[in-house]
Amino acid sequence: MEINESKISMMVDDITRKVKMELKYGQAISGGPMGGGSTGIYKTIDECIRHAGIAQKKLIELSFEKRAELIGSMRTMILRNADPLAKLAVEETRLGRYPDKIKKNILAAKKAPGCEDLITEARTGDDGLVLYEYGPYGVIGSVTPTTNPTSTITSNSLGMIAAGNSVVFNPHPRAKKVSLETIKLLNRAIISAGGPKNLICSVEEPDIKTSQELMNHPGIRLLVVTGGEGVVKYGLTRGKKCIAAGPGNPPVFIDDTADISKAAKNTVDGASFDNNILCIAEKEVFVFRTVADRLITEMKKHGAYEIKGQQIKQAVELLFKDSSGEHPLVDTQWVGQDAGKILRNIGITNAFDSRLVIAEVEHDHPFVLGEMLMPVLAIVRVDSLDEALEWGLRAEHGFRHTACMHSENVVNMTKVGRMIETSIFVKNAPSYAGLGMGGEGFCSLTIAGPTGEGVTRSRHFARVRRCTLKDSLRIV
């Protein structure tokens, strides 16, 4: 193996990060025997739902304080294993960037809401008292993606169990190993904190058939579906409540009042994070013509590589199965791959360290319209905010998912925010600030645009129940 300076530096970074994590959260616990059905992994969906049902009944017998302890233990377990889970995710799915996946695991473990999100509301009046309390659904069926396998299972599990439910996951088959490992670890954390086994279950061999079986099963009271358009459509037509988190194609708007150097860095950071496989990541930029050259120059300083003319044509050939129409179809073998690898395959061999490919194109180019999920970012020059909005709305396809803006003009920011109507609107920061990474707010990797919950939280996984008491229990 050839060892150069950059490889040695990566190895040192890797070891330093591991040592820091272990000092902070203790020794990693991954592995070790866990028998007696306590892994949560079963052969059939029926078995999963039966065991998860028993576990849920045991959970709601525990005190609220105990439930919060289980949540704390789950958080610690994922923090301890953020690094090995990230490594396994990259090895298995071959998508994304290992250091970024560690950050996503830490983010989900630390910032996904727990029991504190379930705030009882009390109203009093001449007729007495009414309480609005959050109660569980029972067993939730949750279908998870290949792009954020561990962090989605983590954030969903935290919120769902905090709300008193158990959950049966159907992970993406291409992320099976790492998803099952995450489930085992979370169950281990729950059991070690005195909670019931099987609060989190999955089948050994998840696939589309088991996903559909799970969604159609009468034992499932709530569906939480995170993935592309196919699974969202399927989930929404099951005749039961479904929280659906679907695709996005987030536009970035940059006007002539923006701090261009900062906008460039933020956009490169967001669009290259985990090789752009996050649904919230910047996918195309609409920039005022007067500042476009400066933006491109600054983006290159921050690790972007610009392709032009024939190189763009070659990239389209390489990266798309079908580049026509409003929803161009990418070749999935390129999803989540490194920018350097993509560049090498269109004949650019001196840009191995580039984090992001940028290309100036027209507003209806496949790089603009397609949800590419790879570090390739379209840049479109515009003459006005209205033009940017017209094309940005078209590129967003009405998903109402995420949009970003870089500007110092409050009127422009308000106009874009109102018109684009996305669940997440990030101003003057990388897109991941909208998930609470370097931005305020809690985190979830399930962002439900189609059904309107937006960034999901514990209370979304609970039923609101009303308790009315006539004429008494008031002190005023």
Residues that bind ligand NAD (CB under 6 A): 143-148, 170-173, 208, 211-212, 226-228, 230-231, 234, 245-248, 279, 371, 445-447
| Alpha-carbon span 43 to 427, nearest angstrom | 46
For residues 215 and 291, which CB has a smaller minimum distance to ligand NAD in the complex? 215
How would you write 129-180 as a 3-class SS string? Answer: EEEEEEEECCEEEEECCCCCHHHHHHHHHHHHHHCCCEEEEECCHHHHHHHH
Residue-wise burial string across 40-61, b where 16 or more C-beta atoms lie within 10 A, e elsewhere: bbbeebebbbbbbbebbeebee
Identify the helix (H) or strand (E) that includes residue 473: none
Q: With respect to ligand NAD, which residue has the nearer C-beta, 310 or 332?
A: 332
CB of 238 to ligand NAD, least distance (A): 10
On whether the CB atoms of residues 244 and 451 are closer than 8 A, the answer is yes
Residue with tokens 């727990």: 114
Closest approach of Cβ 93 to ligand NAD, in Å?
9
Q: How far is the CB of 370 from ligand NAD (least distance, A)?
A: 11
Give residues with Cβ within 8 angstroms of 276, minimum separation 6: 282, 283, 336, 356, 372, 373, 374, 375, 376, 377
Residue (37 or 228) nearer to ligand NAD, CB: 228
Q: Name the DSSP class of 34.
A: -
Minimum CB distance to ligand NAD smaller for 196 or for 206: 206
* Smallest distance from ligand NAD to CB 409, Å: 29
CB-wise, 84 or 227, nearer to ligand NAD? 227
* Nearer residue to ligand NAD within complex by CB, 212 or 409: 212
Chain residue whose CB lies nearest ligand NAD = 227
Q: Residue 387 CB, nearest distance to ligand NAD (Å)?
A: 26
Torsion of CA 3, 92, 19, 434, to 10 degrees: 110
For ligand NAD, which is the closer residue by CB, 274 or 371?
371
Specify the residue, 81 or 147, whose C-beta has the smaller distance to ligand NAD.
147
Half-sphere exposure of 248 (CA within 13 A, CB side): 33
Q: Which tokens is 358 given?
A: 């940028």
In which residue are the tokens 């504190």 written? 116
Element (H, E) at 200: strand 200-203
Q: Residue 232 Cβ, how far from ligand NAD at the closest point, in Å?
A: 8
Beta carbons of 46 and 207 less than 8 angstroms apart: no
**Least distance between ligand NAD and beta carbon 320 (Å):** 15
Q: Least separation, in Å, of the C-beta of 224 and ligand NAD?
A: 10
**Angle CA(132)–CA(136)–CA(137) in degrees, nearest 5?**
115
Please report how close the Cβ of residue 325 comes to ligand NAD at its closest, in angstroms: 17
Nearer to ligand NAD, 136 or 454 (CB): 454
Q: How is residue 113 written in tokens?
A: 């809401």
